[in-house]
Each structure stands twice: as structure tokens, then as C-alpha cells.
């Protein structure tokens, strides 16, 4: 019973609104998800603590690439200042930024676990979010890099045949290396990249152990390139960014600014203590009517406010009474409701019964 009481107290702290007279001058992230300020985040972010200071290089110049399309899909184009952020969320995001620690985010469906990475990136101007989805078969190498050895052999054979020789000559070695989201996030830059690792609690223990070491060290090696460093000290490889490349020196990639890492977990399993000690943790509250109204306002420029609020209340009531629902289901409903040539009221009411099917229902579709 004591554990349940503590859980309730934690949830209430997470949903507490911002105090009217509290001073939050140290915050970089405030939850507005608005346009990035003119001053770059590197001018406002204090130096890292000595135990999280990395010296990777050479540093990639210039800002990271942007991906407005992905951000619009996640957040919408409207004014996100209507979305009220709890003090707990802002505190933990800023602490993770200051301490250069990953942030493990838990919470129910629709609480905004994954979209947090996009809100931080947009508000602080940190560029395209690198996204790594975890499944039961995902390995650490999937996040770091991929080497297409078979493709290199095939390329060598094709080149040799076109020259009428048996010479086993392939193209540039780096053409067959592709950094994954985690590997790309560790490329040395002055400003941190944003990395979203979704559903880490689905990973096996080998991945979790390997990720813990990389979080602690801020670097990794590519053995295939490290072995030939005396012959080819610098190799240009592809990155997870569209058309992106990076020159790997001596087969090692070490970060300069540790990335801002958002790790989402759905509660399938507990994470090992050795990983948890390197991270901060944030529990997101269930979405409130106010938060859902802000999310819809950011995506739908038109629509009757009273009818929208009624839809939200019906949605929350259905979720409480009938099982877990996701915000995507509400977004789909509002789109159909506000579409100029969408269904009439009677048709929409019938559709809502199917659209709002609980995600944890055991009944077949």
C-alpha cells in the first residue's frame, strides 16, 4: 500500500501546474515548442560537468540538418504556447540538457512521450530528430552502423567485369558504411543532436548493456575501419541524415556535445540499474482536456471550440470507462469532424464507436 501511495504522490507532482511566482530563469526549455530563439543554444547552455565532458573531433561545422515535415507531423503548425507544461517536465528536460544525461520518459498512451523530443528540438533549434525504434530483434549495431560487406564484394566484381579483368577492385570503402541514428547522434558537434529511442524496454539485455557503455563513454569504434587505420586513416561514410556524410578518423567516433537523448518506455520490463544510474527519469501524466485542446488547436486552424471541447470530453470519458485510447484516435476524429466534405453528425457518431476502440482490448478487430 505504501508503494501505491508514493506512486499517486509522484503522479500528482508530475501534473502540478507551474507556480504563479516561481522563478525559472535557468530554464532553456519552457515547453512552448515555438520558433528557435535568435541566439544559438550553445551561447546559453553552460559547460558540461567534468564527468560528462567529451573531446571528440574534428567538429562538424554549421548547424545540423532540419526536417520540418517530420516536426509538423508530430506537433502541427499552430501555436504550441497553449499547451501548458508542468514544472516537472521542464525541470527534468533542462536538467538532462545541463547534465548531458539521457532522459527516460514513461507514461500512458497519448501523454506525449515521443513528441517531447520534437518539442525540445523545435524550441531550441537543434535540427532534425534522429529516431531509433526498438523491437525485440533490434541489436546495438542497428543503432550504430551498418556495413554492407556483400554489396562491396558485388561492386568489386562488377567493376572488375566492366574492365575485363579479374581485379577485385571496389569503390570507396565508405560507400558501404551507413551510420545509424545512435552513431549519427555521436558525431562531434558544438550543439547537441536530438536522439529519440522509442520503446527501449523491448530490447534484450545485450543491447541494454552495450547502450549503457556508449552512454557512459560517449564514443564507439567501427572495427572494420579501425583495422585499416594505418592504410586509410580517414574514411568518409554515410550518416542517418539524408545525403549526410562524415569522415571517420582511425575508425572511432567520439562526441563533443553529448546528444539530448529521449528514451521512451511503455512499461513492458524494468530497465537495469546500471543503465538507470546514467539517466534521468520523467513520468508524463495522462493527457488532460486542456492539453488535448492545445494539441488540436496546433493542428486545426478552424473548428468550433465548444464542439471540439465536447469531443475531447467524450474522448476522455470513453478512455476512462472503456480502456486505453491514443491521441492519434482523437486527431483522426477531429479531422473527420472538421473536414469540409466529411461525414455528417450521425455518420460521425457511428464512426467514433469504431475509431475509439480501446487499444488494450482483447477482442479481435
Domains and CATH numbers, the chain: 26-143+176-283 (3.40.50.300), 289-355 (no CATH)
Q: What is the pLDDT of residues 208-252, one digit of tens each?
A: 999 999 999 999 999 999 999 999 999 999 999 999 999 999 999
* CA dihedral sign of residues 276, 281, 283, 284: negative
Q: What is the pLDDT of residues 101-128, one digit of tens each?
A: 999 999 988 888 999 999 999 999 999 9
Mean of the pLDDT values across residues 6-17? 39
309 CB-side CA count, 13 A:
4
C-alpha cell at 235: 574514411
Contacts of 195 (CB under 8 A, 6+ apart): 117, 129, 130, 131, 132, 181, 182, 185, 259, 260, 261, 262
Mean of the pLDDT values across residues 300-318? 85
106 close to 262: Cβ distance less than 8 angstroms: no
145-147/177-179 β-pairing: antiparallel
Mean of the pLDDT values across residues 256-284? 95
Q: What is the pLDDT of residues 39-92, one digit of tens each?
A: 789 999 999 999 999 999 989 998 899 999 998 888 887 655 556 688 999 999
What pTM, to 2 d.p., does this model score? 0.86
C-alpha cell at 172: 570507396
Helix H or strand E encompassing 245: strand 245-249
* Structure confidence at residue 147 (pLDDT): 94
Does the pLDDT of residue 338 top 50, yes or no? yes
For residue 194, what pLDDT band results from cuts at 50, 70 and 90? very high
For residue 12, what pLDDT band results from cuts at 50, 70 and 90? very low
Mean of the pLDDT values across residues 170-190? 91
For residue 17, what pLDDT band results from cuts at 50, 70 and 90? very low
Per the prediction, the chain carries an average pLDDT of: 86
* Structure confidence at residue 3 (pLDDT): 39
Higher pLDDT, 50 or 167: 50
* Structure confidence at residue 161 (pLDDT): 66
Of 48, 64, 92, nearest in space to 257 by CA: 48
241-255, 261-275, 297-311: least confident range: 297-311
* Structure confidence at residue 113 (pLDDT): 93
> CA-to-CA distance for 9 and 18, rounded, in angstroms?
17
C-alpha cell at 4: 501505491
Higher pLDDT, 321 or 348: 348
Does the pLDDT of residue 306 top 50, yes or no? yes
For residue 165, what pLDDT band results from cuts at 50, 70 and 90? low
Amino acid at each position: 500500500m505504501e508503494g501505491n501511495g508514493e506512486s499517486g504522490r509522484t503522479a500528482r507532482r508530475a501534473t502540478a501546474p507551474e507556480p504563479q511566482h516561481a522563478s525559472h530563469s535557468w530554464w532553456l526549455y519552457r515547453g512552448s515548442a515555438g520558433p528557435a530563439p535568435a541566439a544559438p543554444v550553445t551561447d546559453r547552455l553552460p559547460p558540461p560537468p567534468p564527468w560528462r565532458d567529451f573531446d571528440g573531433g574534428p567538429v562538424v561545422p554549421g548547424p545540423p540538418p532540419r526536417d520540418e515535415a517530420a516536426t509538423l507531423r508530430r506537433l502541427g503548425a499552430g501555436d504550441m504556447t497553449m499547451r501548458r507544461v508542468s514544472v516537472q517536465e521542464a525541470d527534468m528536460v533542462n536538467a538532462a540538457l545541463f547534465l548531458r544525461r539521457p532522459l527516460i520518459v514513461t507514461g500512458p498512451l497519448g501523454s506525449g512521450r515521443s513528441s517531447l523530443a520534437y518539442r525540445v528540438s523545435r524550441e531550441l533549434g537543434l535540427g532534425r530528430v534522429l529516431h531509433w525504434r526498438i523491437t525485440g530483434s533490434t541489436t546495438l549495431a542497428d543503432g550504430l552502423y551498418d556495413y554492407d560487406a556483400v554489396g562491396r564484394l558485388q561492386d568489386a566484381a562488377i567493376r572488375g567485369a566492366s574492365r575485363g579483368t579479374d581485379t577485385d577492385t571496389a569503390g570507396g570503402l565508405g560507400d558501404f558504411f551507413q551510420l545509424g541514428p545512435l552513431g549519427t547522434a555521436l558525431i562531434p558537434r558544438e550543439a547537441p543532436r536530438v536522439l529519440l529511442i522509442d520503446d527501449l524496454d523491448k530490447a534484450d539485455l545485450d543491447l541494454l548493456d552495450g547502450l549503457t557503455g556508449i552512454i557512459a563513454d560517449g564514443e564507439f569504434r567501427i572495427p572494420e575501419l579501425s583495422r585499416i587505420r594505418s592504410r586509410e586513416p580517414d574514411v568518409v561514410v554515410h550518416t542517418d541524415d539524408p545525403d549526410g556524410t562524415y569522415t571517420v578518423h582511425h575508425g572511432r567516433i567520439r562526441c563533443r556535445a553529448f546528444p539530448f537523448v529521449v528514451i521512451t518506455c511503455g512499461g513492458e520490463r524494468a530497465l537495469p540499474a546500471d543503465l538507470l544510474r546514467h539517466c534521468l527519469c520523467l513520468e508524463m501524466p495522462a493527457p488532460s482536456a486542456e492539453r488535448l485542446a492545445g494539441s488540436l488547436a496546433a493542428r486545426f486552424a478552424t473548428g468550433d471550440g465548444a464542439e471540439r471541447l465536447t469531443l475531447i470530453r467524450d474522448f476522455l470519458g470513453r478512455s476512462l470507462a472503456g480502456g486505453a485510447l491514443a491521441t492519434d484516435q482523437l486527431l483522426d476524429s477531429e479531422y473527420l469532424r472538421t473536414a469540409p466534405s466529411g461525414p455528417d453528425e450521425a455518420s460521425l457518431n457511428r464512426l467514433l464507436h469504431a475509431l475509439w476502440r480501446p487499444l488494450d482490448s482483447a477482442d479481435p478487430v
